[in-house]
Copies of this chain bind each other. A is one copy, B any other.
Amino acid sequence: MKRTKIIDLFRPELIGQEVCVMGWVRTRRGNKHVQFVALNDGSTVKNVQIVFDMSQFTDEQLKPITTGSSIKVDGVLVESMGKGQSVEIQARELEVFGTADPEAYPLQKKGHTLEFLREKAHLRPRTNTFGAILRVRSALAFAIHKFFQEKGFFYLNTPLITASDCEGAGAMFQVTTLNLNNLPKTEEGQVDYSLDFFGKPTALTVSGQLEGELGATALGAIYTFGPTFRAENSNTPRHLSEFWMIEPEMAFYDITDNMDLAEEFIKYCISYALEHSLDDIQFLAEHYDPELVERLRFVLDNEFVRLSYSEGVKILEESGHKFEFPVYWGADLQSEHERYLVEEHFKRPVILTDYPKEIKAFYMKLNDDGKTVRAMDVLFPKIGEIIGGSEREENYDKLLGRIEELDIPMKDMWWYLDTRRFGTVPHAGFGLGFERLVLFVTGMTNIRDVIPFPRTPNNAEF
């Protein structure tokens, strides 16, 4: 008999029909006359209840059905009298695929802490919480592709292994095939990278933006969506060593087009998740963050406030609020400052623009004041910066000037400069850390809980 996924069971036309379900047992309870099994197959956070009439099954048959075991059940779908469920299955046939020794299986009925489950990352997707998070994550990933594809953007795969380290966005992981216990050396006694796989030192990328600009100045509008790496030794609930980034880049966009796109984009993603993953989001709201759905709807229903960094700093300075880090014009804003503007002052998402050039990347377009650049950061409640972007400096001489000012090696820059040397165009783009978005939409607070297998200092398990 053909299997039906549990998510597809909740349809009136199936009532009275014979169905076949397969999945993992969440719980079993009952008495000698009747036994109830809550079954989940990962397709939804909802379990289906299987009712075993014990005049037709033996105790022996049901004995292996403990939490975590896997079974196949044929039976009739009927309306349920039970609270909190619309349908249930009256079992006719049972097959046990696999048992789960209650002494050994770590995911027993009782609730586990998120910390405990982080140690069991290979099994935690089987819990309601991580099932919900991973389904929301998947829906958000698809929303991202759908949004850009429907707008005529092209998905561009920028390289992971790179020989340039020019953006200076963070510490990098080195990639090598040299035998570290027997390194080839040059005559000067240094490592001889000419014998390494790529003939030179290489590392894992910290951003696909520069290559993204190559794509945008050819295909018009592109987006990347791929893994990115930071080798920083920071053990915080906000940092991962390996995470996923989305970086759209658009020819012929100025900073205003860029802000419009960013706002539309992030609202589209949230709206898609609410539409396609509401059960999961509600489950997470109930268990972790009661204001979650309200917060998501609030972002959808309100225009983001747009103001300059200078105006933002003025508001912070005049707020009378005591911040841990001092705030003054020229300071790199901290999460506490960003969240104050969003949560206390405006009570709405905020887009800050026109930051001092000293605290932003070399490729951002210089304003006429000579002091600020056309950066734009989108600031969110609970998260702080969720998107960072800018209009890019398209003038060859000005860009070269910044590169020289900052002593960025030309060996890494000639190909990037070629986009300004040949047919340069105004263009803009931004970057979104995917896990920050998943954090916001799931209401989780630790970034290690929104990626299946987190990589952090001293942790590369599974």
Interface residues of A (CB under 8 A from B): 3, 5, 7, 22-25, 41-43, 68-70, 97-101, 104-105, 122-123, 125-126, 130-131, 134-135, 137-138, 141-142, 145-146, 149, 152, 154-163, 171, 173-178, 180-181, 183, 190-191, 197-200, 202, 204, 211, 214-215, 217-221, 226-227, 229, 231, 233, 241-242, 244, 251-252, 394, 415-416, 418-426, 451-453, 455, 457-462
Contact = CB atoms under 8 A, between A and B. Distances in A.
A231 B98 CA distance: 38
Contacts of A162: 460
Nearest to A415: B122
A415 B120 CA distance: 9
B154 A135 contact: yes
Contacts of A226: 226-227
Nearest to A189: B181
8 contacts: A41-B220, A42-B221, A100-B422, A123-B422, A130-B218, A141-B145, A158-B453, A162-B460
Contact of A163 (B130, B135, B175, B460): B460
Could you say which of A149, A160, A202, A415 has the most chain B C-beta atoms within 10 Å of its C-beta? A160
Contacts of A160: 160, 227, 229, 242
Contacts of A134: 154, 156, 215, 218-219
B458 A159 contact: no
A36 to B, nearest CB: 18
B422 A218 contact: no
A139 to B, nearest CB: 8
A174 B163 contact: no
B181 A190 contact: yes
B174 A460 contact: no
B173 A180 contact: no
A2 B155 CA distance: 24
A419 B120 CA distance: 12
Contacts of A105: 422-423
Contacts of A457: 197-198
B163 A424 contact: no
B423 A69 contact: yes
A180 to B, nearest CB: 5
Contacts of A142: 145-146, 149, 155
Contacts of A178: 174, 180
B214 A159 contact: no
A409 to B, nearest CB: 15
Given A174-B177, A211-B452, 15 more contacts: A3-B252, A7-B152, A22-B252, A42-B221, A122-B415, A125-B218, A159-B462, A161-B229, A161-B241, A173-B176, A176-B176, A180-B183, A198-B455, A202-B460, A214-B452
